[in-house]
Chains A and B, each alone.
Chain A
């Protein structure tokens, strides 16, 4: 199963772009990369996902390297409400369903 590696914590100044890296060097060709975030004592919130092309939505952009071994989540203009733990996940295909295995995530602190 593909595993992900993320920095434990990061700081970002309010209003600046937050770039959160993720390494998934053992990813298979048909496995998607997902990003979620979790604010304290809440369920994880979906942010974005992608397979091999870069993706953008109203929340963030996802940049996936050509070899798909790493990706970066970009929050273009970080606000204090973006302070959370960000999880990079590679979806695992199983007979019973496509499952997520969470790593330790990156704790992002947006500083005023």
Chain B
């Protein structure tokens, strides 16, 4: 069964620091990877998608993909208390054509 592994956390970082969130995935042929943020009691919201090896930057967020290692990460620079949430990693299962989500990493940014 294809799956995503994420450290459940909580990951605690001080305000202004870089938060690093990581996940590994089991689908060797997947081409599409996603990061979602979910605040407590809310639904997931898309932060970023990444399809090619390397880095993709959007504001304070940088996604990194390494297909050979089946590894994707999300860096949050200048972390703010408002970044405190659960971050979900996901990939497209091309065999079943469905998106598979990890259980999420809880991030706390301390003011």
A associates with B: no
Chain B residues engaging chain A, CB cutoff 8 angstroms: none
Chain A residues engaging chain B, CB cutoff 8 angstroms: none
